[in-house]
Amino acid sequence: MDDFTGAAQVAQLRRTVTRKGRRTVEIVCLITSADARTAPPELLAAWVQSHWEIENRLHWVRDVPFDEDRSQVRTGNAPQVMGGLRNIAITLLRLQGHQNSAAALRHHARGTDRPVNLFLSA
């Protein structure tokens, strides 16, 4: 535990994942400074679930429909600015009721007035 100063609890999480029709079991180790009284198994599970909720609601959308990982913008403040603009676009699409970001982006790409109207209607 020398490498994990402050660690009070180690837990193992097993989850069943289905990808392309194939089921596998993943085992994940969790390390936390919260002891077992402060963070019982139910709370640890809630923390993991909330992490994936954030990952799925924002990071995945930025990575896949916006293809952020292949962005050529790498210098100065430009990466942060572009990330902020992507977040604004995601927020505006969600406020307009779009659940599927990829479909919403395709919809707005088909009409030059649609992105402007989206922005002005917010």
How do residues 39-96 score in pLDDT, each as one tens digit? 999 999 999 888 877 777 777 888 888 888 899 999 999 999 999 999 999 999 989 9
How do residues 17-40 score in pLDDT, each as one tens digit? 898 999 999 998 999 999 999 999
Q: How confident is the model at residue 3 (pLDDT cuts 50, 70, 90)?
A: confident
How many Å separate Cα 29 from the centre of its chain? 20
Looking at this protein, which amino acid is placed at residue 97? G
Nearest partner of 89 among 75, 72, 76, 107, judged by Cα: 107
Between 107 and 121, the more confident residue is 107
Spatial CB neighbours of 103, under 8 Å, sequence gap ≥ 6: none
Residue 77's CB is within 10 A of a number of other CB atoms, namely 9
> Cβ(11)–Cβ(44) under 8 Å?
yes
